[in-house]
Chain A
């Protein structure tokens, strides 16, 4: 279980996250929604322990995200990252795997690359990867430790429809295995398809957290999301 309790975060004097609390149930898929600058990435970085909240606390399986044992169980895919471009996809994945107590061998890494559709490009240097291929590699490295909790920042960004479909299948596969998945996305159609629950951040505050169906109330998620944000910001 992921428990977020009254977290706040100031960055350079600006309140980026304000008193946010929510719970993500084990084995569920949780989607973070919000406009650009709503605080989604900042919250995500605090969830994986890259940054500390200024107030409040986060626990994953009862422990802080910075705890070594928690880190062993976390997979994180950052938003549009740069890679070590002179390494091949396989070298990068093997490198990421070797940072865990129990690491995958080369063959297992090859299989993971096959799963995300990068088998043919495994020995190509990352500098020659397309944006979509980099997204897939980012996804593979987030799964390299067979995590119990997967956090992804805009995982569907830059993927073509086939790539998005493949990634959504993997997310649903993870859910079926009991993995807890938490991700940010602007593509609400996909969120609607794969998420059990959503959290909507607006100007750093959580304005909704709960089941997708309860929020959508029979309408499309996008329609309801836009209406919600417009009701909070009448100038939009």
Chain B
């Protein structure tokens, strides 16, 4: 039974992965990302001796930005488009549950985003190595954390896309992204007012704290996160994504097709 469920999840994830990897728009974004990464070579050359730092800084920021663009582009319309275009009918009239579609789609999408991000990372590593920065281990950590963040963002996008139109989903996700990276700031601002502090604490724990996944600045200065830290962040990401996928499955389960 468990094997059967895993098989179905794998089949849905695989087709989602293939479908996404053949999307021409994805290649457009990737091409732009590679151009940006190589452009950092030029920016590094005019940075008065800080060329490796500038290349690494801009390169990691570029990978994050383009990874995010790809994710939002692919994920926010995912479920909505399937319902609207009736593609779901093919799958859901077969022995497949709605939650399996949600989880399978999530897995395939995350795999395609991960493949794109890893592709960008490979270009980045070559550029840094070419500039004499050696093998950038820190970048591997930073990108690993980014993939964990994208896991949450994909789950969030799928959650919204079960009931909202793609444009509305984009707005919701970008809002959550902004808030998710500002929760520490929010807590700091509210610390002097007890009522605000309670509300800020509530938001801090309820909303996804995306700043946990941002270690780019840390690795740029040569530090690496401890392994237990990596495990905690990975667990946080998996649990938060799982919670969102449960919510998405429940919403989809109640929806008329």
Question: Which residues of the other chain, B, contact A183 by a CB distance below 8 angstroms?
Answer: none
B-facing residues in A84-142 (Cβ within 8 Å): 84, 86-87, 91-92, 95-96, 98-101, 125, 141
Chain A interface: which of B50-58, B88-96, B142-150, B221-229? B88-96
- The reply to whether A48 and B15 contact each other, CB–CB distance below 8 Å, is no
Number of A-B contacts (CB under 8 A): 74
Instruction: Please encode chain B, from 72 to 97, with 1 for each CB lying within 8 Å of some chain A CB and 0 for all others.
Output: 00000000000001110111111110
Q: Mark A74-89 against chain B: 1 for CB-CB distance below 8 A, else 0.
A: 1010111111101100
Determine if B15 and A84 form an interchain contact, defined as CB atoms under 8 angstroms apart: yes
With the chains together, A136 CA to B58 CA distance in Å? 50
CB of A82 within 8 A of CB of B87, answer yes
**Is the CB–CB distance between B94 and A11 below 8 Å?**
no
Interface residues contributed by chain B, number (CB under 8 Å): 24
- Give CA–CA (A83, B22) in the complex, Å: 14
User: A86-B23, A100-B95 are contacts. A78–B15 as well, Cβ < 8 Å?
Assistant: no
With a 10 A CB-CB cut-off, give which of A71, A141, A145 has the most chain B CB atoms. Answer: A71
Q: Is the CB of A81 within 8 A of B95?
A: no
Q: Is the CB of A81 within 8 A of B86?
A: yes
Q: A96-B90, A100-B94 are in contact. Are A50 and B257 (CB under 8 A)?
A: yes
Chain B residues engaging chain A, CB cutoff 8 angstroms: 4, 7-8, 11-12, 14-15, 18-19, 22-23, 85-87, 89-96, 256-257
Q: Is A26 an interface residue (CB 8 A)?
A: no
Which chain B residues border A50 with CB–CB below 8 Å? 89, 92-93, 257
- Count contacts on A: residues with CB < 8 A to the other chain: 32
Residues of A at the B interface (CB closer than 8 Å) are 11, 45, 48-51, 68, 71-72, 74, 76, 78-84, 86-87, 91-92, 95-96, 98-101, 125, 141, 145, 151
